[in-house]
């Protein structure tokens, strides 16, 4: 599973990344979840994210413009893990 954090590396981006890593570890999926930072503005726009920071899970935009809660992240991971 690939989770992309799209943003400039601001504190909110880092908080989102930490939530993703924490939840993946809690679910025992730390090795199965790859977290990528996407900081290039053109790459971010090409993925359809106009409000940073955004989150994309396996190619699907799941969040934009806010820090998702750990519960939200858990839902995304569990949903994708079922597939």
What phi, psi does 31 have (nearest 5°)? -80, -20
Contact 70, 38 (CB under 8 A): no
13 as an active site residue: the answer is yes
Task: Please identify which of the residues 10, 41, 50, 51 carries the catalytic annotation.
Answer: 10
Residue 10 appears among annotated catalytic residues: yes
Q: How far apart are CA 8 and CA 68, in angstroms?
A: 17
**Which one is catalytic: 6, 13, 33, 57?**
13
Q: Could you give the residue numbers annotated as active site?
A: 10, 13
């Amino acid at each position: 599973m690939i989770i992309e954090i799209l943003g400039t590396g601001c504190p909110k981006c880092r908080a989102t990344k930490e939530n993703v890593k924490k939840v993946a570890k809690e679910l025992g999926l730390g090795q199965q979840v790859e977290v990528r930072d996407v900081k290039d503005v053109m790459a971010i726009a090409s993925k359809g994210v106009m409000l940073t920071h955004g989150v994309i899970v396996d190619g699907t935009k799941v969040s934009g413009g806010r820090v998702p809660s750990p519960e939200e992240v858990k839902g995304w991971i569990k949903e994708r893990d079922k597939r």
